[in-house]
């Protein structure tokens, strides 16, 4: 045991900064990265985390004090092992699937434009963009009793997720899964003839699903008295957005009416999302589509290429393959579904091998030519065929780019990186304190549930509460068949970052429910911090994996260990039971498995 002074780290050159909250007291046990104090500069508030763990002996500051870099906050009695970084750090978010760090570009803050015109309407909060991040933020702000407007260029709320992303893809995947499931029943003596697919009706079903949800959102906006301003918004100053009003009857299609409206705001939340990456060498041709085009389900090709072996490409590939297409996939990295541990992906690969003619990993697409009889694609790399290959349909699913550069955020003084990301602090504030940013535009992972969570944080701050994005983990799910879901520290991350872990696995071959369902190929894996015993990650491959990963997320957030999870009574017989049983494996005895070898 030794005494350690916890000091203020580099806080960007700010001096004599106000302490607005002290989160510790003498006798507390402080964990690594736990917030000690909160500082407020004229630009933002920031939390100062502990860089060592131990028991607080002395607190050297109080609310109202001023402090600078190097100032002593507290003295703790640090225990050797506890002081070593072993748990996942919130900021690092090792948890996030396929996570890339938001580019830290040190973009210089631009000078805000001065706006001297008048406003047509004034709001407490204007939310720019009506996607899952934007509408969630706006509804939460309205629930706080503030006057709020959403500026959205298209006819419906819900953004990419509801209109051309999460929801339509799942509507199609559900139908594909039922078709596949019915095929499995043949082995149990229940035989159906091959399905007759009416593609127009299937498309209609998907549209109905979207309509139900977006209609519901419009109703909820009305009920909350949230103003919807249909148009494309651009900042004209630090407190004003000019909206070029649009007419739009369909998502991703809008024309400007020529009329403009200027709105003034006290606070603004930028939720402008992202768009698909266009590869420069790919020609325009109706047989080459992005995810939106693929969701339109214009045709079922005989031979389809997916450029990009990530979740979006593989989900769409699953749909097209079940409807009759043969698939090729090309991916520059050394494996599909990057971010998930390879043992999970291997199970998916085995179950899905029948869909693919070629899985070209470590391979690049270098040329695409549209000819009358098909799209000819040339590849380069480890698995590249020597000759260009012909396809009836090519899906480009090579990633998404943020929309930060399209809304003149710089005119409000907001710094935007070269790539179009907007950097924020843990309160979702940009470098301009009354302007927040959330969702895809602030960085990876570009997922709807991250956008919604960030939206709620920004909304609470707009309403004067003190809220932070301090989620430890963000789960990722591929809604393929079987589903692949993962969260927190993966084995790959642990290896890369030198985190000492223990893992426990429960194979679904021993799950009564999975066997009864005829789908026992999957497994559930839990990952624990080897020193503290706390759960820090997990992965599931199998049917409904995405519905189950939430329990592991909660366990991580609550700091559970294997005993907490294993001794929680899970209903039987369920697939969710496999999480409890994986924890029992970690505890040394799982009575649904053969006896484990004792070390
Ligand atoms: P968006 O949803 O992109 O919404 C931004 C909105 O802002 C848009 O409606 C846009 O029109 C509007 N806008 C932009 N600029 C302006 C402006 N200047 N003025 C007015 N309006 C503007 N995520 C998941 O979590 N689970 C999934 O299963 C999943 N599946 C997906 C499947 C596909 C095919 C795709 C493409 C994406 C999927 N995603 C999924 C990702 C998810 O859709 C996004 O992460 C999410 O929509 C991001 O929300 P957002 O609010 O940040 O932005």
Please report, in tens digits, the pLDDT of each residue of the chain (599 residues total): 578 889 888 676 667 888 877 888 888 888 876 778 877 765 556 678 788 888 888 899 988 888 988 899 998 887 543 332 333 333 333 333 323 334 355 688 999 999 999 999 999 999 999 999 999 999 999 999 999 999 999 999 999 999 999 999 999 999 999 999 999 899 999 999 999 999 999 999 999 999 999 999 999 999 999 999 999 999 999 999 999 999 999 999 999 999 999 999 999 999 999 999 988 899 999 999 999 999 999 999 999 999 999 999 999 999 999 999 999 999 999 999 999 999 999 999 999 999 999 999 999 999 999 999 999 999 999 999 999 999 999 999 999 999 999 999 999 999 999 999 999 999 999 999 999 999 999 999 999 999 999 999 999 999 999 999 999 999 999 999 999 999 999 999 999 999 999 999 999 999 999 999 999 999 999 999 999 999 999 999 999 999 999 999 999 999 999 999 999 999 999 999 999 999 999 999 999 999 976 65
Structure tokens, 572:
């039987």
Q: Nearest Cα to 190, choosing from 573, 518, 520, 522?
A: 518
- Please compute Rg for the chain using Cα positions: 26
Nearest residue (CA) to ligand 1, atom 14:
272
Q: Whose CA is nearest to atom 12 of ligand 1?
A: 129
Please check whether residue 423 is in contact with residue 102, taking contact to mean a CB–CB distance below 8 angstroms. Answer: yes
Ligand 1 centroid–CA 336 distance in Å is 23
Among the listed residues 85, 27, 20, 98, the one whose alpha carbon sits nearest the alpha carbon of residue 51: 85
Q: Whose CA is nearest to atom 8 of ligand 1?
A: 159
The distance of Cα 112 from the centroid of its chain, to the nearest Å, equals: 31
387 C-alpha vs ligand 1 centroid, how far in Å?
Answer: 37
Distance 406 CA to ligand 1 centre (A): 15
Helix-helix angle 132-143:448-462, to 10 degrees? 30
Mutate to test the pocket of ligand 1, among 126, 155, 161 (most ligand atoms within 8 A of CB): 161
How far is the centre of ligand 1, averaged over its atoms, from the C-alpha of 53 (Å)? 39
Structure tokens at 257: 């009416």
383 touches 363 (CB < 8 A): yes
| Probe target for ligand 1 pocket from 129, 311, 404, with the most ligand atoms within 8 Å of CB | 129
Question: Cis ω on the peptide bond leading into residue 445 (within 30° of 0)?
Answer: yes
What is the spatial order of strands in the sheet that 29-30 belongs to?
A: 2-7, 72-78, 54-59, 29-30
Non-local (6+) Cβ contacts of 558 within 8 A are: 564
Residue nearest to atom 35 of ligand 1 (CA): 165
Instruction: Record the tokens describing residue 431, joined without a space.
Output: 């470098």
Among protein residues, the one whose CA lies closest to atom 53 of ligand 1: 273
Instruction: Output the CA 242–ligand 1 centroid distance in Å.
Output: 22
Q: What span, in angstroms and rounded, lies between the C-alpha atoms of 390 and 371?
A: 9
As for ligand 1, residues whose beta carbon falls within 6 Å of it are 128-134, 151-154, 159-161, 165-166, 169, 232-233, 271-274, 291, 312, 403, 406-407, 439-440, 446-449, 451, 479
Inter-CA distances, 123 with 119, 226, 263, 454, Å: 10, 10, 7, 21
Report yes or no: 373 and 398 within 8 Å, Cβ to Cβ: no
Q: How far apart are CA 301 and CA 324, in angstroms?
A: 8
538 Cα distance to chain centroid: 16
Which three-class secondary structure string do you get for 224-239?
Answer: CCCEEEEEEEEEEECC
Supply 145's token pair: 């009793």
Distance between CA atoms of residues 557 and 583, nearest Å:
16
Residues involved in catalysis: 572
For residue 561 the two structure tokens come to: 């260990």
Q: What is the distance in A from the centroid of ligand 1 to the CA of 404?
A: 13
Pocket test for ligand 1, best of 98, 152, 160, 547 (most atoms within 8 A of CB): 160
How far apart (Å, rounded) are the C-alpha atoms in residues 126 and 141?
Answer: 10
Tokens of 47: 């939390």
Q: How far is CA 85 from CA 5, 38, 55, 172, 499, in A?
A: 17, 22, 16, 44, 9
Kindly report the protein residue whose alpha carbon is nearest to atom 28 of ligand 1.
166
Q: Report the 10 Å Cβ neighbour count for 492.
A: 15
Residue 195 CB partners (closer than 8 Å, separation 6+): 179, 182
Q: Which residues of 531-561 are buried (b: 16+ CB within 10 A; e: fewer)?
A: ebebbbbbbbbbbbbbebbebbbebbeeebb
């Amino acid at each position: 045991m030794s005494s350690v002074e916890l000091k203020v780290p580099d806080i960007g050159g700010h001096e004599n900064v106000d302490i607005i909250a002290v989160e510790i007291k003498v006798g507390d046990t402080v964990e690594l990265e736990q917030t000690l104090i909160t500082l407020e500069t004229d630009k933002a508030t920031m939390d100062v985390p502990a860089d060592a763990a131990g028991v607080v002996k002395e607190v050297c500051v109080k609310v109202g004090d001023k402090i600078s870099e190097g100032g002593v906050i507290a003295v703790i009695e640090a225990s050797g092992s506890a002081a070593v970084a072993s748990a996942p750090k919130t900021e690092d978010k090792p948890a996030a699937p396929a996570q890339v760090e938001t580019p830290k570009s040190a973009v210089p803050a631009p000078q805000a434009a001065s706006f001297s015109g008048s406003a047509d309407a004034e709001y407490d909060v204007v939310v720019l963009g009506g996607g899952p991040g934007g509408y969630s933020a706006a509804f939460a702000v309205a629930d706080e009793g503030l006057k709020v407007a959403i500026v959205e260029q298209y006819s419906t709320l819900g953004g990419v997720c509801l209109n051309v992303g999460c929801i339509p893809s799942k509507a199609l995947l559900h139908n594909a899964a039922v078709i596949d499931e019915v095929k499995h029943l043949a082995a149990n003596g229940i035989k159906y003839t091959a399905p007759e697919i009416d593609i127009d009706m299937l498309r209609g079903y998907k549209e109905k699903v979207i309509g139900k949800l977006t209609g519901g959102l419009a109703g909820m906006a009305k009920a909350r008295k949230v103003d919807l301003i249909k148009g494309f918004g651009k900042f004209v100053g630090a407190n004003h957005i000019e909206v070029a009003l649009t007419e739009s009857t369909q998502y991703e299609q809008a024309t400007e009416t020529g009329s403009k409206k200027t709105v003034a705001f006290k606070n603004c939340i930028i939720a402008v999302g992202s768009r698909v990456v266009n590869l420069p060498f790919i020609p325009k041709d109706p047989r080459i589509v992005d995810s939106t085009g693929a969701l339109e389900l214009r045709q079922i090709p005989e031979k389809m290429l997916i450029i990009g072996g990530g979740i979006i490409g593989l989900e769409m590939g699953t749909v097209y393959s079940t409807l009759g297409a043969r698939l090729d996939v090309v991916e520059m990295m050394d494996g599909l579904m990057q971010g998930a541990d390879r043992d999970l992906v291997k199970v998916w690969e085995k179950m899905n091998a029948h869909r693919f003619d070629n899985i070209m990993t470590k391979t690049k697409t270098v040329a695409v030519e549209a000819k009358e009889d098909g799209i000819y694609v040339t590849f380069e790399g480890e698995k590249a065929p020597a000759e260009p290959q012909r396809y009836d349909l090519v899906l480009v699913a090579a990633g998404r780019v943020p929309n930060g550069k399209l809304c003149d955020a710089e005119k409000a003084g907001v710094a935007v990186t070269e790539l179009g990301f907007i950097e924020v602090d843990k309160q979702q504030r940009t470098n301009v304190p009354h302007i927040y940013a959330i969702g895809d535009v602030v960085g990876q992972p570009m997922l709807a549930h991250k956008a919604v969570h960030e939206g709620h944080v920004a909304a609470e701050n707009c309403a004067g509460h003190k809220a932070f994005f301090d989620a430890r983990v963000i789960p990722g799910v591929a809604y393929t068949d079987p589903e692949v879901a993962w969260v927190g520290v993966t084995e790959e991350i642990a290896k890369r970052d030198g985190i000492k872990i223990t893992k426990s696995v429960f194979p679904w071959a021993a799950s009564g429910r999975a066997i009864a369902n005829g789908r026992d190929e999957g497994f559930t894996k839990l990952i624990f911090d080897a020193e503290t015993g706390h759960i820090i990650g997990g992965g599931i491959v199998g049917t409904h994996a995405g519905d189950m990963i939430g329990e592991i997320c909660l366990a991580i957030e609550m700091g559970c260990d294997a005993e907490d999870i294993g001794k929680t009574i899970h209903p039987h017989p369920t697939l969710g039971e496999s999480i409890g049983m994986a924890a029992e494996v970690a505890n040394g005895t799982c009575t649904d498995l053969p006896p484990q070898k004792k070390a």
